Amino acid sequence: MKHLFKYKWYLKDGYPAPGISKNNYNVFGTFICGGGSTMGYKLAGFNHLGGVEIDKRISEVYKINHNPKYLYTQDLREFNKRTDLPDELYKLDILDGSPPCSSFSMAGNREKDWNKNKVFREGQTKQILDDLVFVYCETILKLKPKIFILENVKGLISGNAKVYAKSIINKLEAGGYKVQLFLLNAASMGVPQRRERVFFIGHKKEYQFNKLSLAFNERNILFKEIDAGDIKGKEYNLRPSHAPYALICKGGKSLSSVHPKGHCFNTYKQDNNLVSATIVADNGGGIMIHSSGKRYLTDDEYKQIGSFPMDYHFNNMQAKYIIGMSVPPVMIAQIANQIKLQWLMNCNNNV
């Protein structure tokens, strides 16, 4: 079964993806990080104008790889106060955003961290992470795009966090949008990774679009299909705390399930016959061990699992961190392609 978008691809080959036509729809991003979403839209033929990113180092990485027309390196709260934005940002076809989600992650502290100021990464200012979804809602209501996408972790629709999800929908519907909620798994969309994410997707009520249908059933890509490339010089020994347990941990389970003291939380040994576990950005966790049990994954393997281009320039930043922080490009390409086919191509007939 042929995949619509390749998970192994190169920036040098240009956009859009083979078999996809270029279109004239404009997109702008927030929380753009390494540009996973940016590349997804470009693969699907869209014109991506740039975005907003608070982290100066990551903003530089974004600039190197994407050469954006507009790039604002600042807190989205400050961006929302700007009065000097170009007119075309008020005429967007799609506004995209993936607010930092650690406060809602099922693997985090959840309620214990809600309403607390936190530093998301060294060098950034402190910010209350769980209200960034509402800061992004303010961006939507400021720019008033035809369509918006808000991506977040599955935990946002679990347990006590459901009240946040309802508040997001209520706020945006009161602002003139019709909103749908989707829970999607990247593994069913041509991404070699088990990554479940929530997507709030809405359009202005003035457009009488039919309900968006997002049902992806592409063949699962197993870890054994990932090309490690040349591992000479890249293969390195496991930490002493990992090595004894990597040999007996099977089925893609966390090493904490076999470690007597649970010291290897969120560290996974890959199973050749399963889709890869989710790449986690945290430098202290989410470590992946090769199925051989003898080494960690290489950057080339992380790129393919995250559907990042093989020639992406990380500018001396950790590849795993940027890929784990970013939405897989192929995941967004699939969604954007369906929005184009189901909504935007019918736009003139529905106003």
Q: Could you list the active site residues?
A: 101
Helix residue spans in 16-109 (DSSP H): 36-43, 56-66, 76-80
Q: Which residues contact 67 (CB under 8 A, 6 or more apart)?
A: none
Closest CA to 91 of 131, 49, 121: 49
What is the spatial distance between Cα 60 and Cα 79, in angstroms, rounded to a whole number? 18
Q: Which residues contact 184 (CB under 8 A, 6 or more apart)?
A: 196, 197, 199, 214, 216, 331, 335
221: which DSSP letter?
Answer: -
Instruction: Report long-range pairs for 289-295 (Cβ below 8 Å, ≥24 apart).
Output: 289/238, 289/242, 289/246, 289/255, 290/228, 291/223, 291/224, 293/238, 293/246, 293/247, 293/249, 293/269, 294/235, 294/238, 294/246, 295/231, 295/235, 295/236, 295/237, 295/238
What is the spatial distance between Cα 342 and Cα 262, in angstroms, rounded to a whole number? 47
194: which DSSP letter?
Answer: -
β-strand partners of 47 = 26
Q: Which residues contact 240 (CB under 8 A, 6 or more apart)?
A: none
- In the structure encoding, which two tokens stand for residue 148, read together? 């918006």
- In the structure encoding, which two tokens stand for residue 201, read together? 């997707």
User: Radius of gyration (Cα) for the chain, nearest Å?
Assistant: 20
β-strand partners of 200 = 150, 181
β-strand partners of 42 = none
